[in-house]
Structure 1
Amino acid sequence: MSNTETYKKTEEERIQEEIDWLATEEQLEMERAQIHRESIAFQRMQLEQVKQTVEEEQKQKKEEKHQKVEAEAERKAEAARRAEEEKRGRRSKKTQSRLKKRPKERKRKKQRYGSSSWGRWPAVQNWD
């Protein structure tokens, strides 16, 4: 083998090594790009999960607040209803006791005892 042939062979080997090196570099660059795309996709997925979690928490907080407000309104309405029933109950008992007496009897008592104190003392018509 002559020097020229050896030189050509080493030159071809060098060129082939450079081609292999460039191919390897290109392959590595493609792998890096793929890893970068996967990383971005993973980050987007995580971000979406966090976003959904936050939305669910906000929805749950709104629901809890709504339930508290509703429960408070129901409690107030129940208290008002009970107070009104109590008030009506007292009134109705008084009214019922008055209505039990017949109107004629009430009128007689009023005439007999006087209009101002018709249940306590008999009204004295004549002092003589």
Structure 2
Amino acid sequence: MVAHLDKSHICVHTYPESHPEGGLCTFRADIEVSTCGVISPLKALNYLIHQLESDIVTIDYRVRGFTRDINGMKHFIDHEINSIQNFMSDDMKSLYDMVDVNVYQEKYLPYQNVAQGVRP
């Protein structure tokens, strides 16, 4: 499924798996939220995680491309970020055990939420 928004897009890849011999059924959804301009996909995190009610959430936040200021200087990131946890609500933080695994030089901030009481 792909939804194209003005200067943005949302793409969902689904991976359902069934293991009837073990009585287990899992469903994985990879959701890609990409934006251009001043709207950050980080603003949608709490809403998406809350709506999906996931036991395990892995977030890859990547900064791609650049923008220019009025003097023509390139800026590869236009906001401060050192942890995706800074964008999570207190309610969300109370539901998950959170781990940052950041690669700052690559502008790549992978992150994992695991619902409390769930073994990944």
Where on the TM-score scale, by shorter chain, does this alignment land: which range?
under 0.3
Tell which structure's C-alpha radius of gyration is larger: 1
**TM-score where L is the length of structure 2:** 0.18
Larger strand share, 1 or 2: 2
Larger helix share, 1 or 2: 1
